[in-house]
A and B are shown apart, each in its own frame.
Chain A
Amino acid sequence: MRPTLFLICPVLLFLGLSYLLPFLGIVQLSFTDPQPGLAQYRHVLSDPLTLAVIWRTLRLCIIVTVVSVGCAYIITLLWVRGTPVIRLLTELCIMIPFWISVLSRAFGWLSLLSNRGLINTWLKDAGLIDASIQMTRNEFAVVVGMAHYLIPFAVFPLATAMRNVDERVLTAADGMGASRLRIFWQIFLPMTGNGIIGATLLVFVFSIGFYVTPALLGGGQSVLLAELIYLWIFQMPQWGMAAALSVVMMIAVGGILVALMRRNAEIAK
């Protein structure tokens, strides 16, 4: 059985050297740069500017999560339970955006929302507005872009939950004369609750560390945590602060993921 040990080790060694060790280096930096001690953490957790970014990130991520999971629920419902034609159409609507580059998607939203973009041009041509409406470089654009990116990710856990719903329970409720609305609210929705929780946590975790879409659609006007780390590294070298913020983020996300796994383990029992 010895030879198999040589199979397992390379990837552990590779990730240990190129991921874990550097991350420990980051942790070390967070306690030592520019001066040893907890000053970096104190700054990150008390500086009003940083706190404002933390709150903005949390607020936006919550909005994005609610929008994404809501939209994903509707489209997953049709994907899993619709007629074959509808199933095929919804699958295409989910899968095509999913495989398209995050940059193309952000660019698509810029084409739609910018001052010379499609929507403003249409509205002007229709005579509804005189001057362009500012729809990019703000939180609205960030929410739209991030939700668009995250909906497909929310679909997969929801689809698993909906496929696991026992058809006979619904038929029984129907046979007992429950209305369609009642079947949905009192049976279908609670039975897919685990999928909703899974999708919510997944989307939330993804949205917290997300850099590209907010940076492009926010246009530097609504900086989120990831962009703040980027600025601290590349604009005003403040490694210690960036490191401390990263550690805080890692702990927060790790906590959410452990909670998620505990839940799943309990359900599996």
Chain B
Amino acid sequence: MTGLRPGRLATLLCGLVAVFLLMPLIAVVPVSFTSKRYLSLPDGDWSWRHYAALFSDPDWGRSLWTSIEVGVLASSLSVVLATAFCLGLWMMRPRFGGLMTGFVLLPMVAPPVVSSLTLYFFLNKLSQWNSLIGYDTLGGVVLAHTVMVVPYAVIVVMVSLGQLDRRMDLAAQSMGASVPTRIFGIILPNIRFGLLGAFVMSFLFSWDEIGVTLFVTSVNTITLPRRMWMGLRDNVDPSIASLSVLLILVVAAIVIGRAAFAMRAARSRR
């Protein structure tokens, strides 16, 4: 058995890949402490100025708030749409269910730039008759993000419905429960963690979305990734290094925490 474990060469190569994967995340740490106004390493004098700039500049705060608003609205909308869709498929099992699912997953598999162009075209048209949900508005970004994240919500809800025992619903049905009772009394309470997962997943993808956002916003509605993009494109602003460090710390804490939790759970099971 032990002879079939990966050998030294594989471990060495894997180490190199691991270094490759982690290097850029570590590289931003020293850069974030530079005292200069351009991208550089702190030569002797370390400084917190770019962290301070992050907290004192109202633009960053505004963008943070925009991202949260867009994320919450888009993921709420996408979870409602996705849950209704999956429930319909699960309860009715219609003939073209596979085809419908394929259609709903389309924005996930289409090339991002094609989706961006399509949504830009769509919001431009909307702008002509409604100023609230058109190009470069909060409503417009929410709409575009909902299109992009709804496939992820559908996948998560579908997986949790797949794990649900159908007999529970059949029992309720045979006792004469109406469709709303079955949905709100039986099915939804049983997949509540799946719904929460779908919300978190949609929020994370909306929070990070940049490809489409670049096409559908310009000056009024600037999400956090959009502001990072602006700071990277024109002249590399070290504030982005400090923001990146903060974001990396949050992600690392969550991932490591999850791994530790999973390990503890595995140990207690033994």
Contact = CB atoms under 8 A, between A and B. Distances in A.
Contact of B5 (A14, A74, A82): A82
A71 B19 CA distance: 11
Contacts of A8: 84-85, 88-89, 92, 94, 100
B250 to A, nearest CB: 9
A118 B147 contact: no
Interface size class of chain B, counting residues whose CB lies under 8 Å from the partner chain: 35 or more
B160 to A, nearest CB: 16
B162 to A, nearest CB: 16
Contacts of B107: 15, 19
Nearest to A91: B259
A148 B41 contact: no
B120 A233 contact: yes
B116 interface: yes
- The SS class assigned to the A binding surface is helix
Interface size class of chain A, counting residues whose CB lies under 8 Å from the partner chain: 35 or more
A241 B33 CA distance: 45
A176 to B, nearest CB: 12
- The SS class assigned to the B binding surface is helix
Contact of B3 (A29, A93, A174): A174
Most central of A25, A78, A108, A180 by chain B CB within 10 Å: A108
Given A15-B107, A95-B255, A100 B248 contact: yes
Nearest to B13: A74
B118 to A, nearest CB: 5
Interface in B76-100: 81-82, 84-85, 87-89, 91-92, 94, 100
Contacts of A6: 84, 88
Contacts of A112: 23-24, 27
B175 interface: no
B219 interface: no
Given A100-B25, A104-B244, A19 B232 contact: no
B17 A118 contact: no
B35 to A, nearest CB: 14
A91 B125 CA distance: 45
Given A15-B147, A100-B25, A103-B210, A116 B114 contact: no
A130 B228 CA distance: 32
Given A104-B244, A216-B233, A250-B111, A71 B117 contact: no
B133 to A, nearest CB: 10
Given A107-B241, A114-B236, A118-B30, A75 B18 contact: yes
Given A7-B91, A111-B31, A215-B233, 14 more contacts: A4-B91, A7-B88, A8-B89, A8-B92, A18-B122, A22-B121, A26-B118, A26-B121, A78-B10, A103-B240, A151-B21, A180-B3, A211-B113, A212-B214
